[in-house]
Chains A and B, each alone.
Chain A
Amino acid sequence: MLDIAGLSASYGEAHVLNDVSLTVKPGEVVTLVGRNGAGKTTLLRAVMGLHRDIEGSISFAGRRIERLSPNARARAGIGWVPDDRGIYASLTVAENLTLPPVVHESAWSTEKIYEAFPVLALRRSSMGTQLSGGEQQMLAIARVLRMGSRLLLLDEPSEGLAPVIVQRIAEIIREITTHDIAVLLIEQNVKFATTVADRHYLLAQGRIVETLDNASFQAREPELLKHLGI
């Protein structure tokens, strides 16, 4: 579903990503693991089209997208949950949900969203900023589900959430992947990552240093954690 080949990204003189190649298949959950500053967020921003200073190719659903605008990529089926949640302060919860267009028939209805996240239903008229961090996170995930995005780019979705909500998000990720939705995930919470992911890419200093399936990642977990410093 997502094919990245030879991707390099820079901020002016500074090279943040170096010759990164990775794939995410339909229904697959893939994590990017690495220290802060390894280039994980830049990679997601490059896929979304928000970081334009890149070389290499990015294909989504068999089509080259690196020249497309971010809104064309979103309409093609890529959904982004940024690390700052990206909730609009001047929009209500309901408006935040319905702002983006529905891009695929698999999109969740607002009823289904409110059923899955009852707290959002209770707070649908509140302004975005009045939500707690956890509620904002749920809203950000709910928003891409309502769009019907086929590839979700999740930047630390479990950060700052209560365990019960993290568990709920893990369940939702497992549920949507049965409908061939793919997930590319940045995650510091290793327990959460190993619960939901099929494969892991280890990123260090802008390069992919290792690719592991979930079983080998779990087997080498203590060593990897030490190596990655997370």
Chain B
Amino acid sequence: MTRVVHPRTFGSDLNMTAFIQYTVQGLAAGGFYALAALGLAIIFGALGVVNFAHGSAYMLGAVLSAVLLTTLNVHFWAALVIVPLLMFAFGILIERLLVRWLLRLDVLYNFLLTFGLSLVLVDVVKNLYGVSGLPYEQPAGLQGLIHVGGVTLPKYQLFVFVFSVLVCVIVWVLLTRTRAGMIVRAATEDPDRARALGINVSRWITPVFGFGIAVAALSGVLAAPFRAITATMGTNFVIILFAIVVIGGLGSILGAVVAGFLVGLVEAYGQAYAGTFAQIAIFILMVIVILVRPAGLFGRRDAA
């Protein structure tokens, strides 16, 4: 699924330069995962909704970037702002029209709803834009390679890593330093208790859902110049996201981010050193984490 540039040098695979290149590639992939998993974890925590349509939000982020570029000449940098805003509105609409009505029922209902929604979104995009990938150029200034201390690295991968870390830090600051963030953390940890303390949790649910969708879409915008933009690009992606959320610890936002980067690295090293086992490596990691720490890396034991 990744257009991997194999900077494999002749001679030993343990070559340090190659290792650093794989690491950067893994951290870039981890950036996509971390952002999207962050949104998934926030939505799961605050609403108790396992949002199967999260992969579609990522896909729509990439597709919208490509469509905006070809139709309205909206460039990458503008898309980084516009697409998440559009998808925030889309998320609010979905929450208001659909998700909200099923919140009182068993979690399975919203799981099925969002699963169905993802099927619809994938087919709508297939119908409109076909199954072959949409074109997207790497933005000017981020093309090509950069030489850092004797190692040659793709500029765009470095950018994705730095940018996604930056977004994670901003979200972290919002969560830990603002009153809104404090309420979201409380509602994520235990919504009933927050209600009993006079917090109107329902009022926070809609924007939180929109926010979770918006970060997934942001991850999609970042992926647009880097991965094949197709209707189904979110289908495998969401499965890996679920693995990430389980590895990080259900309901843990920090866990989702750390596990996102970890899985990106495991995937890149897997592709480099274990070939076809790369995808399995992620799930082996998940199995090991579940066996050793059933609640995930950052999960609380009672949440398991």
Contact = CB atoms under 8 A, between A and B. Distances in A.
A147 interface: yes
B197 to A, nearest CB: 4
A99 B196 contact: no
B13 interface: no
Nearest to A81: B196
- Interface hub of B183, B193, B198 (most chain A Cβ within 10 A): B198
A81 B37 CA distance: 34
Interface of B: prevailing SS: helix
Given A75-B198, A143-B197, A70 B192 contact: yes
Given A50-B192, A89-B300, A74 B186 contact: no
Contacts of A103: 198
B186 A71 contact: no
Interface string B187-198: 011101111111
Nearest to B251: A90
A114 interface: no
A207 to B, nearest CB: 26
A91 B197 contact: no
A74 B182 CA distance: 18
Contacts of A147: 197-198
A48 B193 CA distance: 10
Contacts of A86: 190, 193, 196-197
Contacts of B300: 89
A99 B183 contact: yes
A56 to B, nearest CB: 20
Nearest to A70: B195
- Of the four ranges (under 10, 10 to 19, 20 to 34, 35 or more), the interface on chain B belongs to 10 to 19
B27 interface: no
B54 interface: no
A192 interface: no
B185 A74 contact: no
B273 to A, nearest CB: 37
B200 interface: yes
Contacts of A100: 197-199
B105 to A, nearest CB: 14
A118 interface: no
Interface string A78-106: 00101000101111000100011101000
Nearest to B300: A89
A101 B195 CA distance: 11
A74 B195 contact: yes
Contacts of A143: 197
Contacts of A99: 182-183, 186, 194, 197, 199
A20 to B, nearest CB: 20
A52 to B, nearest CB: 10
B189 A74 contact: no
A88 B186 contact: yes
- Interface hub of A71, A80, A82, A95 (most chain B Cβ within 10 A): A71
B200 A71 contact: yes
Nearest to A103: B198
B197 A74 contact: yes
A69 interface: yes
A150 to B, nearest CB: 13
B186 A69 contact: no
Contacts of B201: 71
A91 B198 contact: no
Contacts of B186: 88, 90-91, 99
Contacts of A75: 198
A69 B185 CA distance: 20
A50 B201 CA distance: 13
Interface string B20-63: 00000000000000000000000000000000000000000000
13 contacts: A49-B195, A49-B196, A71-B194, A71-B195, A71-B197, A74-B196, A88-B190, A88-B193, A90-B189, A91-B182, A99-B183, A100-B197, A100-B199
Given A69-B200, A73-B196, A99-B186, 5 more contacts: A71-B195, A74-B198, A75-B198, A80-B196, A82-B193
Interface of B: 182-183, 185-186, 188-190, 192-201, 300
